[in-house]
Chains A and B, each alone.
Chain A
């Protein structure tokens, strides 16, 4: 019980050296057992299919020593900061400050984002990363409607992303339809699938809904993999047309935008165009969501998250209310999918795994359910952070998973812990997230 003391009684003990060492020893011993076989022994199948193994006791020793040292450091930090360490790291004044700064942070962030292609014009890597971040911002905002506002747990959001991507990919490659026709179609198709799934399952509650949406995400992925004649199976769809500037291609040809404008062609033009395209899509998502929140439908979503029974007693049709939330979220996912397809020029089932759903969900939860700014910041942190660890290669997902655990322990309610009211008489007061429910559907 003393190994990793999170409870107050242990943490409030004074920093006795014996206690410190005892804790560290126990933790190191546990680590030794845990890592003994998994790290201490390395197995590998030889060329003849025979399994061989060799020992790595050095690595094991290092790990155990690290746990020993780490335990002491963490324990000291804990005693130094106090029993509620995690809370104290972010004082209340800063927490309320975030929402205050939020009023200025959001416009500042928007202006900076608009200027990104100007500032980083020659840095292709940063532009690509910015496009990626914005894609996840959009996905996060889309899922936020479902999870953050309506309080419905959707673990298969990636399915709608996939539907959008394949809708565009297949329509464009088979019929040669342009991006601007396919984009709304992709959104409509994704919303249609959202309704199709939502209709029977939305009366399920809580974790039952979670597993059904997860199952749906897997079904879509498996069908894409196996329906080879339509989707190309694991090989995916390639040669997806790049978007045009409303009909004018962004290439080196005489009809290209560069030639028409009389400027020298550069491949960066397309990247910049893609950047503003996803920015516009994301901002559209944001605008629609903010507006919807202030309409009766949006208030009904939030009321549904707060108390479904009360909603029914007020004459709100909970089924259609849930369906609209589900379809709206799915539609934004579909838009994002179409953008993804046109940006990559190639799509395959590998891009639409459960990990993607989990990542987007993590962005929404870390953002502080329901907060638009929070979701944007969370997407920036998660995707940006993920990129920072690119050099770690196979350790990247390991670090990412650890970060997810630590972030949840640090801030279970996300970065922005406040809800802004949708209507007010005299003054809009932020509502503490402690009062805000997170739904059970």
Chain B
């Protein structure tokens, strides 16, 4: 395993009762790169995501995460919150899951829970109000403010997340995931429901996350303009198995990919072929 690989999925299988959602899937994601997982609806992409982020326990296979300090973590052995806390894998959701009744700023503060918990001496010191906690809180607010600037929502910081426009909510969710300071950021259809301008802004945001912060990104996406523009590596799935992988250009020209998309959804197939040409 080279030091360049952050995530290695090896023979991942997920069964629900008799249905095999993902079968013997293997792929790798490189550090500081954007890897896209694409495929027609029902290909099993979100299931893979849920296995990686601990919401499902895989039926078989291994998922290895290598931290930049060289630690190897077996994700399939960690469950729910520990994946985000210990393995530093953050994710967003296909249907946005913000805390709608809390402000944008509060959403970003909750994301820094574990760091702040430690700083508040597991609440005890924070309750007394020790200065070290106050400093930590200030730093947390600064980080949150920084992210609000990046996603262009600084002026909405004190508005309830549920009151933000759809596109803003999408970006806020990404910022929230980034506030956990992850090694790997998993995005489940971040461009869904965005208009062309918002999609472009999203691409820019993701590229800046990769280039400036060096965070590795794994994303599921249907919007081919986004995928083809920003991905370094693409893995194509259909019916639970990997059918192709490579650079955007390789994938675009792969007859198996075109067949898979043509077989299910003409529009998407057309999108695969047209984007970039």
Contact = CB atoms under 8 A, between A and B. Distances in A.
A touches B in complex, CB < 8 A: yes
Interface of A: 288, 291-292, 295-297, 299-300, 302-303, 305-307, 309-318, 324, 419, 421-429, 431-433, 435-437
B111 interface: yes
A419 B254 CA distance: 54
A303 B137 CA distance: 17
B101 A427 contact: no
B81 interface: yes
16 contacts: A291-B126, A295-B116, A299-B110, A307-B99, A312-B84, A314-B81, A314-B176, A315-B84, A315-B180, A324-B123, A421-B105, A421-B158, A422-B109, A423-B105, A423-B106, A425-B157
B84 A313 contact: yes
Contact of B93 (A302, A310, A433): A310
Interface residues of B, number: 48
A229 B157 CA distance: 60
Given A296-B113, A316-B110, A288 B90 contact: no
Contacts of B176: 314
Interface centre among B81, B85, B100 (most CB of A within 10 A): B81
A248 B109 CA distance: 48
Given A288-B127, A297-B122, 14 more contacts: A302-B106, A303-B99, A303-B102, A312-B80, A313-B93, A314-B90, A314-B177, A317-B85, A421-B158, A422-B109, A423-B141, A428-B158, A433-B101, A437-B100
Nearest to B173: A310
A429 B159 contact: yes
Interface of B: 53-55, 80-86, 90-91, 93, 97-103, 105-106, 109-114, 116-117, 120, 122-123, 126-127, 137, 141, 145, 154, 157-160, 162-163, 176-177, 180
B101 A435 contact: yes
A237 to B, nearest CB: 33
Contact of B180 (A314, A428, A429, A432): A314
Given A426-B158, A435-B162, A315 B103 contact: no
A435 B106 CA distance: 14
A313 B53 contact: yes
A309 B126 CA distance: 26
Residue picked from B82, B86, B109, B122, most chain A C-beta under 10 Å: B109
B249 to A, nearest CB: 33
Contact of A315 (B85, B109, B160): B85
A299 B106 contact: yes
B97 A310 contact: yes
B189 to A, nearest CB: 15
Contacts of B160: 429, 431-432, 435
Contacts of B158: 421, 424-429
A418 to B, nearest CB: 10
B98 A424 contact: no
Given A296-B126, A425-B157, A315 B99 contact: no
A437 B122 CA distance: 26
B163 A309 contact: no
B172 to A, nearest CB: 12
Nearest to A426: B158
A307 B101 CA distance: 10
Contacts of A300: 110, 113, 117
Contact of B81 (A312, A427, A437): A312
B179 to A, nearest CB: 8
A424 B162 contact: no
B81 A315 contact: yes
A432 B101 CA distance: 8
> What are the 8 closest A-B residue pairs judged by CB atoms, nearest first?
A436-B101, A315-B84, A315-B85, A306-B99, A296-B116, A435-B162, A310-B97, A425-B157
Given A291-B127, A317-B81, A424-B157, A431 B53 contact: no
Nearest to A303: B110
A251 to B, nearest CB: 36
B165 to A, nearest CB: 14
Interface centre among B98, B99, B123, B159 (most CB of A within 10 A): B99
B155 to A, nearest CB: 9
Contacts of B53: 313
Contacts of A429: 103, 158-160
B102 A314 contact: no
A306 B111 CA distance: 14
Most B CB within 10 A of own CB, among A292, A305, A313: A313
A317 B86 CA distance: 11
Contacts of B113: 296, 299-300, 303, 314-316
A268 B116 CA distance: 48
Contacts of A314: 81, 84, 90, 110-111, 113, 176-177, 180
Contacts of B126: 291, 295-297
Q: Which of B54, B116, B122, B160 has the most CB of A within 10 A?
A: B160
Contacts of B83: 315
Interface centre among B80, B101, B123, B157 (most CB of A within 10 A): B101
Contacts of B145: 425
A366 B93 CA distance: 34
Contacts of A419: 101
Contacts of A424: 103, 105, 157-158
A435 B127 contact: no
Nearest to B54: A312
A297 B141 contact: no
